Structure 1
Amino acid sequence: MPETSSHRTGGPARALRLGVCGPVGTGKSSLIALLCRELSDSLRLGVVTNDIYTDEDARFLRSAGVLPAERIRAVETGACPHTAIRDDITANLIAVEQLEADFDPLDVVLLESGGDNLTATFSPALVDVQVFVLDVAGGGDVARKGGPGIERADLLVVNKTDLAPYVGVDCAQMVADAHTARQGGPVVALSRTDPESVAALTGWVRAQLDRHRTGSLVPRDPGPMAAHSHDHVHA
């Protein structure tokens, strides 16, 4: 790994903390696996996953071999996923800080929320930047329904675009609706089989890391969080 990967020209001495959240089944773990595969040759990475009662997401990433197993930590929230990424971030913050201490220096720590509904967002006290993930299989109308995650996360990913013809979704319209809901905020239409979309995602992550290193990245709160409802599946 290049010696320059941990070089910081200013700003925080710690790693960039990047949160990934979204509804159940949208491909959050697969997106993190993709980022690890694409970036681990040039950046020092760590991962913290969240599940309610298991470490299933962490085991998936470890079995995929995307990073050394010891760089992937699991938090069992014991409650709705949003509680551990927004309401009481203590367990996640401890896991991130321990990971950073064990493998200093790290460039990026990726935090994966458990699957939650469209209102779930990370506390800016936990992450510096956050990605909200939708997928075309969830329905072409989801993007225009809005919500804090869709509207105000730093990046919205419309995932699994290669499946659109098979689930009857107009992908171009879904992406256009996403841009409208976000008032022009960044949207990446992603398929892991499409190198151009993968490059757009990794380029965005690298740009956030550059901003973090220079001190120009200021975490912002995409909330306030709407009243929580149980329309998601506690898997």
Structure 2
Amino acid sequence: MHLDHADTYPQRHTHGAAEPHRPDGTRRALRIGLGGPVGSGKTATVAALCRVLRDQLSIAVVTNDIYTREDADFLLRNAVLPTARITAVETGACPHTAIRDDISANLEAVEDLEETVGPLDLVLVESGGDNLTATFSKGLVDAQVFVIDVAGGDDIPRKGGPGVTTADLLVVNKTDLAPYVGSDLERMARDAKAQRGALPVVFTSLVAEDGVRPIADWVRERLTAWTAAPA
């Protein structure tokens, strides 16, 4: 029996869409969430996006880890943004709870960044490593990127899960490893298409020159649409 994804993976967002304006009436920063399994390349994606966009946009980052600041410290060590523009949330539990069920700590971090280093064009919110269920509340982010990698198995798109099926952008990372781990990229592309329909999918390797470009281009498109939206 086929089950519709809406029934299989019911939305658990507890917050409505976030107010799109600052107190002064101007449009606030676009908020993009990045989720995905451990080791898929989420933090590397955030770092690469910061490097390629920081000269054009005013950016800040919020990271999520259970008990550490590991992801934030990685970004700071690599100097992808000034220290004041990177903040960490220690969730104390499964990371997806802090981006979906109780978003208060993340929402406070985002709003504090907008107040202290703003005005901002873009805020990236990175979830700690999770399984295929890491979806973001619409009260926290305006769009979601879900990152998987070929070394995790070429059956991941076929397995689905709300991260794979509903994210605004699916990134299949580490394509350079496909020959070494026996992953079939064409099969992954077919399965992703079957799961996602018209929703976009990017195949890339962040270690390649300009590997982040298709993701950055998508972010730019989202930002253009965001800023052009009616006040």
Give the TM-score normalised by the residue count of structure 1: 0.84
CA deviations over 1:34-76 (Å, ceiling 9, x no partner): 1001111111110000000011100000001111111100000
| Native 8 Å contact 1:12 1:212 kept in 2 | no
Whether 2:225 is the aligned partner of 1:211: answer yes
What SS class does the counterpart of residue 212 from structure 2 fall into? Answer: helix
Q: Please list every run of 5 or more consecutive structure 1 residues that lacks an aligned counterpart in the other structure.
A: 1-10, 217-235
Cα deviation, 1:75-115, whole Å, max 9, x if unaligned, reads 00001111100100000000000001111111100000011
Residue in 2 that maps onto 1:143: 157
| 1:111 maps to 2:125 | yes
2:27 partner amino acid: A
Give distance in 2, aligned partners of 1:74 and 1:85.
Answer: 13
Task: Provide the residue aligned with 1:132 in structure 2.
Answer: 146
Give yes or no for the alignment of 1:154 onto 2:157: no
State the identity %: 62
Contact kept, 8 Å, 1:22 with 1:115, in 2: the verdict is yes
How far apart, CA to CA, are the structure 1 residues paired with 2:207 and 2:42?
Answer: 16
Residue 180 of structure 1, aligned match among 182, 194, 214: 194
Q: 1:70 aligns with which of 54, 79, 84?
A: 84
Partner of 1:198: 212
TM-score where L is the length of structure 2: 0.86
Q: Which amino acid aligns with 2:29?
A: A
Between the aligned partners of 2:53 and 2:69, the Cα distance in structure 1 is: 23
- Check whether the contact 1:159–1:191 (CA below 8 A) recurs between aligned residues: yes
Q: Deviations over 1:120-159 (max 9, x none)?
A: 1000000000001100010000111111110011000001
Give the aligned CA root-mean-square deviation in angstroms: 1.4
1:21-170 equivalent positions in 2, closer than 5 A: 21-170=35-184
Gaps of 5+ in 2: 1-24
CA distance in 2, matches of 1:186, 1:32: 19
Compared with structure 1, are the counterparts of its residues 176 and 21 closer, same or farther at alpha carbon in structure 2 (3 Å cutoff)?
Answer: same
- CA deviations on 1:5-39 (whole Å, 9 max, x unpaired) are xxxxxx96110000000111111000000100111
- Per the TM alignment, residue 203 of structure 1 is displaced from its structure 2 partner at its CA by 0.7
Moved over 6 A (4+): none
Q: Secondary structure at the match of 1:200?
A: helix
**1:183 and 1:94 mapped to 2: Cα distance?**
35
AA partner of residue 19 (structure 1): G
Partners of 1:12 and 1:215 within 8 A in 2: no
Deviation at 1:195, TM superposition (A): 4.4
Q: Is the 8 A contact 2:44 2:206 kept in 1?
A: no
2:146–2:170 CA contact under 8 A, matched in 1: yes
How many correspondences in the alignment?
A: 206
Q: How far did residue 172 of structure 1 move?
A: 2.3
The verdict on how the C-alpha distance between 1:82 and 1:12 changes in structure 2, with shifts beyond 3 A counting, is farther
**Distance across 1 between alignment mates of 2:38 and 2:196:** 21
